[in-house]
A and B are shown apart, each in its own frame.
Chain A
Amino acid sequence: MSFVSIEQAGYGVPSGGTILDRIDWTIGEGEFHALVGRSGCGKTTLLKLVAGLLAPSTGTVRIQGEPVRGPGAQVGFVFQAPTLLDWRTVLDNLLLPVSLTRRPQPADRRKAEELLDLVGLTGLEGRFPSQLSGGQQSRVALARALVTEPPLLLLDEPFAALDAITREELQDDLLKLCARHRTTVLFVTHDIAEAVYLADRVAVMEGGHLRHALPVPLARPRGRDVRYSPRFNALCLELRHAMDGKPDRPALERAS
């Protein structure tokens, strides 16, 4: 059964503009899907519909068969910016999703420290966000979204502001973290290589429509060698042509 199902979901603004036009998409349990498109194509809006931060003007979004009516406990969200609370320590920031619902227990603290270890921030729990690098802040934001172990994780271009090497490290961290509890993921990005590297399936958005869907049949776990394999590059090129709306045959010939 599909974990997330988007059924004829549309979103318009009162001034009459249509941002999303009748989108259909399903994500199976434990799958990693990426949503690519240019700036302003509506991919962030679609993500917010799934998150329950916005309500669709037409159609419905279902998570585990239940229509989404608002932000739910089963969803973790990672924003474009790390959005950490500057006046709280790393540990307090990590525990924010817990401390807003109840007093954090020693078990929560242990789990937070375990997550910090996994993202390579061991021993930094007492620091403040301004004392961290951009990559470290993004790691804290990622760990915070996972501290309640939500079955569904939504990410909105979380690594866009990072340098290439740091971004690759974070992509590997993300895959590692999501594999732990077989988290279902919807990942929005404008980076083609990122989408291909991370996802099982990539959807291409353009002007509020889903134009194309591309399965990524690369074996897991994926490592550095995958990034430079001809198969990977061919998939990137195919995705690039899908985004341009051109037939992808000449590209594949050149790649092979």
Chain B
Amino acid sequence: MVRLASALLLVLLLAGWEVHCRVAGVSALVVPLPSAVLRTLWDGLAGGYLLPHLWVTTAEMGMGLAAGCTIGFLAGVLLAEVPVLRRLFYPYILASQVVPKLALGPLFIVWFGFGMTSTVVITALICFFPLLENTMTGLQQVDPNKRELFRMLRATRLQTLLRLKIPSGLPVILAGLRVAVVLALVGAVVGEFIGGRQGLGASIIAAQGMMDSTMMFALFIVITVLGMIVYQAAAGLERWLLRRPWKG
């Protein structure tokens, strides 16, 4: 019922938008007609213009996410397990959290050139921190009684890590992954703004150059749908991994 109402709301909003633009004669450069946006979107998908860009952005996001999350997770495990390293690196980690990673984009273009590599690096850097932070937190939040149980059972350090700390920290770690997935899309699109030749972000810049607002709106829709798909995929993975009754 509520779902129906919210779908109806979308239809109403789009209809209002369409009517207003036609009646008031708003320029398509400022706000394009929803019907025109949908037609452009359809043409772009059916005609194959958008598909390579969609593919490039998805690939950049995927690679950046995989690299950033893997490194973030491993670094989180290392820092959680070795207190000396944690004390040594934590101030730097805190400082690097605050640095706006996207501001490093121009520098990465100097280092890695225009194209996919710089975007992947930016995306990876953005995904790194939520995983690092949540892995560290998750591994350190283990119930002290359970730690003592593992000591009593003479578990090795590796066994304690693999069979106690990581499983019990998994809900926190996966929450970090969910954050990273959303940030990865932002990273990939904005990375392409700065240094991309191809991809959805680069296409937005290209459309802007041609004053094609209709195409920009069509690209927004593609990016939003892509974001929703990957977010749902991450949430689905989380549900699947935590399908067992889990309390923490």
* Interfacial residues, chain B to chain A (CB-CB below 8 A): 143, 145-146, 148-155, 159, 163-164, 167-168, 170, 244-248
CB closest chain-A residue, reference B144: A83
Chain B neighbourhood of A75, CB < 8 A: 152
B145 near A81: Cβ-Cβ < 8 Å: yes
B247 near A100: Cβ-Cβ < 8 Å: no
Distance A86 CA – B150 CA, assembled complex (angstroms): 15
A96 touches B (CB below 8 Å)? yes
Given A71-B154, A87-B167, A100-B159, CB of A53 within 8 Å of CB of B246? no
Chain B neighbourhood of A195, CB < 8 A: none
A window 70-94: CB within 8 A of B:
70-73, 75, 77, 79-81, 83, 85-87
B248 near A86: Cβ-Cβ < 8 Å: yes
Output the least CB separation between B59 and chain A (Å): 34
Chain A neighbourhood of B150, CB < 8 A: 100
Distance A99 CA – B151 CA, assembled complex (angstroms): 14
Chain B neighbourhood of A77, CB < 8 A: 149, 152
A71 near B247: Cβ-Cβ < 8 Å: no
Among A72, A83, A86, A131, the residue within 8 A (CB) of B149 is: A83
Chain A neighbourhood of B159, CB < 8 A: 100
A55 touches B (CB below 8 Å)? no
Chain B neighbourhood of A101, CB < 8 A: 154
Given A86-B248, A130-B245, CB of A100 within 8 Å of CB of B155? yes
A51 touches B (CB below 8 Å)? yes
Max chain A CB contacts within 10 Å: which of B152, B245, B247? Answer: B152
A128 touches B (CB below 8 Å)? yes
Chain B neighbourhood of A131, CB < 8 A: 245
* Interfacial residues, chain A to chain B (CB-CB below 8 A): 51, 53, 70-73, 75, 77, 79-81, 83, 85-87, 96-97, 100-101, 128-131
Given A79-B145, A83-B145, A85-B167, CB of A71 within 8 Å of CB of B151? yes
Dominant SS at the A interface? loop
Among A51, A73, A83, A130, the residue within 8 A (CB) of B146 is: A83
Chain B neighbourhood of A130, CB < 8 A: 245-247
CB closest chain-A residue, reference B147: A83
Distance A87 CA – B170 CA, assembled complex (angstroms): 10
CB closest chain-B residue, reference A130: B245
Starting from the known contacts A72-B154, A79-B148, A130-B245, 17 additional A-B residue pairs (CB-CB under 8 Å) come to A53-B148, A70-B154, A73-B154, A79-B145, A85-B163, A85-B164, A86-B245, A86-B246, A87-B167, A87-B170, A97-B153, A100-B153, A100-B163, A128-B245, A129-B245, A129-B247, A130-B247
CB closest chain-A residue, reference B241: A87
Distance A130 CA – B242 CA, assembled complex (angstroms): 13
Among A51, A85, A86, A87, the residue within 8 A (CB) of B152 is: A51
CB closest chain-A residue, reference B154: A71
Chain A neighbourhood of B248, CB < 8 A: 86
Distance A88 CA – B155 CA, assembled complex (angstroms): 17
Max chain A CB contacts within 10 Å: which of B149, B167, B247? Answer: B149
Distance A70 CA – B247 CA, assembled complex (angstroms): 30
Distance A100 CA – B150 CA, assembled complex (angstroms): 9
Chain B neighbourhood of A128, CB < 8 A: 244-245
Chain A neighbourhood of B246, CB < 8 A: 86-87, 130
B153 near A87: Cβ-Cβ < 8 Å: no
Distance A242 CA – B105 CA, assembled complex (angstroms): 75
B247 near A86: Cβ-Cβ < 8 Å: yes
- Return the 6 tightest CB-CB contacts between A and B, nearest first: A130-B245, A128-B245, A86-B247, A83-B145, A77-B152, A71-B152
Chain A neighbourhood of B168, CB < 8 A: 85-87
Output the least CB separation between A163 and chain B (Å): 21
Chain A neighbourhood of B167, CB < 8 A: 85, 87
Distance A100 CA – B155 CA, assembled complex (angstroms): 6
Distance A131 CA – B247 CA, assembled complex (angstroms): 11
A87 near B154: Cβ-Cβ < 8 Å: no
Distance A55 CA – B164 CA, assembled complex (angstroms): 24
Distance A22 CA – B150 CA, assembled complex (angstroms): 29
Distance A81 CA – B145 CA, assembled complex (angstroms): 8
